[in-house]
Structure formats: C-alpha cells, structure tokens
Amino acid sequence: MVRNVAIVGVGQSKFGVRHDVSFPELAWESVSQALDDAGLEQKDIEYFIVSNAGGWSSEPLPAVVVGEYCGLTPKGTARVEAACASGSSAIKLAHDIIASGQADIVLALGIEKMNESPTPTVVEFIGRAGNYFWEFQNFGLTFPGYYALYATAYMHKYGATEEDLCRVAVKNHYYGSYNPKAQFPKKITLEECMKSRYVAWPLKLLDSSPITDGSAAAILASEDVARKLTDTPVWIRAIGHASDTSNLSKRDNFLSLRAAVEAAHMAYKKAGVDPSNPAKYFDVAEVHDCFTIAEILAYEDLGFAKRGEGVNLIREEQTYVGGPIQVNLSGGLKAKGHPIAATGVGMAVELTRQLRQEVEKERQAVIDRGWALSHNIGGTGHYAYVNIYSLDKPRG
C-alpha cells in the first residue's frame, strides 16, 4: 500500500554570499521557517534528511551538526548526495519513507556553504564532479566547461547563438529581481550579458549560475497528518529519476541530457501526463538552469519543445509569466543562486509557494491547472530528478 504524501511546510534562507552566518545558523533559517509554516515542533519530526555536497565547507558530518543546532537530535538522520540534484534526492527519500508507511512526518533540508573556501578551490571541487580520474586529472574541465561542450554542439547543430543563450539569463534575472531571497535580485540587459567575459567559451560569466550559500527545508507528511495541518497541502504527484555515465565521453550525443529525458518519461507515466504535450498540464516549472544552455536543453528534454526548437521558446518569450509554460519565476539557479545541494529542496519550496499563490505578485505564475514541475539535474546530466506537484490529491 503506497500512501499519498504532501508538502506541509517550507522555508528558505536568503541565498548569496552568507558570511554573516555559520553553517548551522544557515540551516536554522530555513528549518525554523518550515516548522512555523507547518505548525510543528521539532519533536514532531520523525526523521530528517540533510542533502549537502560539501568539500568546500568545514563540517564533514553536516546532518548531525545541523540536527544538534536545530534541536532535531536524537531523531534519525542521514546526509545524501546527488551533486546539484542532492536536494531532490532528499525529497525523494523523505517521500518514500512516508509513502511506504515508515513515518508520517519527515523533514528534508538542503544546505550548502560554498563560500567557506576561496573561488579557485570551489571551481576545482565542481570541476572534479564528473569522472575525476579520466576527465579532470589530465584535462582540467570545469563545470561551465562541461556544459559548454553541450552548448557548442547544440549551437552548431541548431544555429542557436550566444545572444539566444543570454536571453535565458535576461528572463531569469528579470524574475529574480522580484525575489528578495535571490542572490542577484537585479535585472540585466542582453548587452551586459553579451559583454561579460568568457568563463568557458562559448559560455560567459552571465550565462552561469553563481557560487552560493543557502539552505532550503521542506516538511513532508502522510495524507492523514497533512489534512490536519493545512488546508493547502501540495501533493507530490510523481517523482521520476535517472542517471547517466560519469564520463561525458561515454554519451552518444551532446544535444540532450539523456537522464533528464528518462526522468521526465518516468514522472509523466506515473502522473498520467501525455508526453506528446506535457506543457499543457503545468502552470509553472522550475528547471535546472545552472547555465543558460541548460534551460534550453530542459525545454526539449521535458518535451515543452521539439528537438532544436527549445531556443524558440526563449526567443518568443513563451516561458515568461502568462506564457504557455511559465519557467523559473524564482530567478532560477541563474539569479536566485545555486547552493548545490539546497537547489532541489529550494525548487520544492518555490513550487509549493507558487501553487499556494503566495510569492511576490510580479513573479507569481497564473495558477489555472494547479500543477507544477521541477527539473533538477546533478552534475552534467549525471543525475536527474523530475518531480510533479499538484493541489489536487493524487488518488484514493
């Protein structure tokens, strides 16, 4: 018997360079909000999962450090890692624990404090995330470098330009400017993006998500408990998941992230979404725009556009508020910030608030259908999670 699971409380810290707080203080910012939002106390949490990639930050056992500070000790816990999709892996495990009847209330916390190390060290750690021995050791790839390999191939095949990529940054900064918790709450112009320096040709600084400190927390509950806690539970309708090779060279093309396609396929199947026109089911989506090219690939991998036509969605501004599918109204990883293992939980927080219609009015999606989608990629398509959230209850 699989039980329905809902999000009943969410919280998110301000994203950015957070030299004003320590690692556990940063965690408390989102945990305290999530407890308040759910109307729960720490003793009500039966298990908590902490997603954290780490390396750049000083605490090697983040789950217990956070547990002690936030008053969650002695509840069971574990730290999980799926690179930039770690947060979604925490949501999945929290969901599965409840769905299988092993607990009624579980907290998922994503946290990253990347600025405890200097930037070159952070670039090194992220660059090593792929296949360390065969890719990094000899060839010193960086994260923008890996995605630039996809950008070069995509631009060559479909005629997309550097301006097209920058259009994604302009959109996401536009919405980020209305998100007070974003790292860069400011608009940028196409010219500013085009003039920014290359970090991994053809990708520029303003094509890239920043190095971010931040935390996000979501409390998940079983149907019976959720009904008692809130009038607006946000149901987890489906979770699709997949992985791909650690070596990019083992992939057959650089035009699509296979794991994202697989994860979307699985999520659509579980939720009964027609994969030939999935966009019509959703009001709003948060997609993994760690680099601008990644948002265009996401449009295609999710089936919002045909192959080679994802670039048209941004050229025609179809993913702005009021468009057929509203994407990254939080500012996305690009402007909101990308605290690696907090990002996936942050997407769940954002979509919960979007569906409840409680975000800032300039970036509130039009909610007609009551369905939302998150697309969270770890590494360069190494891990993929596609989650579907709804205001209406899945079954039973």
Partner 1 sequence: MSQKSQKEAMEEALKQFEQFVESIKQATGLPIVPDQKTGAALWVDQRELRLKYTISVERIKPFYDGLMDGKLMATKCSKCGTVYFPPQSYCPTCRKSEMQWIELSREGELLTFTVINIKPASFAHYDDYIVGIARLKEGINVTAWVREKDPTKLKVGMKVRIEVVKRQPEGYLTYEIVPVSE
Nearest distance in Å: CB 355, partner 1: 35
Contact 57, 115 (CB under 8 A): no
Chain-centroid distance of CA 225 in Å reads 26
Question: Binding residue for partner 1 (CB under 8 A) from 68, 78, 102, 118?
Answer: 118
Contact flag: residue 299 with partner 1 (CB under 8 A): no
382: nearest Cα among 52, 130, 133: 130
Question: Binding residue for partner 1 (CB under 8 A) from 138, 368, 395, 396?
Answer: 138
Query: CA 375, CA 352: separation in Å to the nearest integer?
Result: 14
Which member of 70, 84, 166, 290 is catalytic?
84
| CB-count burial class (<10 Å; 0-12, 13-18, 19+) for 327 | buried
| All residues at 6 or more sequence positions from 157 whose CB lies less than 8 Å from its CB, including other chains | 255, 308
Query: CA 210, CA 289: separation in Å to the nearest integer?
Result: 11
CA separation, residue 9 to residues 194, 253, 389 (Å)? 40, 40, 14
Contact 182, 76 (CB under 8 A): no
Question: Binding residue for partner 1 (CB under 8 A) from 36, 39, 58, 274?
Answer: 58
Nearest distance in Å: CB 193, partner 1: 16
Binding mask 243-262 for partner 1 (x = CB under 8 A): ----xxxxx--x--------
Contact flag: residue 198 with partner 1 (CB under 8 A): yes
| 338 in catalytic set | yes
Contact flag: residue 159 with partner 1 (CB under 8 A): no
Tokens 């969410």 correspond to what residue? Answer: 10
Contact flag: residue 148 with partner 1 (CB under 8 A): yes
Contact flag: residue 298 with partner 1 (CB under 8 A): no
Angle of helix 292-301 relative to helix 162-176, nearest 10 degrees, comes to 90
| 84 in catalytic set | yes
Chain-centroid distance of CA 322 in Å reads 22
Question: Binding residue for partner 1 (CB under 8 A) from 1, 43, 74, 139?
Answer: 139
* 9 or 381: CB nearest partner 1: 381
Contact flag: residue 201 with partner 1 (CB under 8 A): yes
- What are the backbone dihedrals phi and psi of residue 300, each rounded to the nearest 5 degrees, phi first? -80, -40
* 132 or 274: CB nearest partner 1: 132
Contact flag: residue 17 with partner 1 (CB under 8 A): yes
- Which residues are catalytically annotated? 84, 338
Residues that bind partner 1 (CB under 8 A): 17, 19-20, 58, 118, 120-121, 123-124, 127-128, 133-136, 138-142, 144-145, 148-153, 156-157, 197-203, 247-251, 254
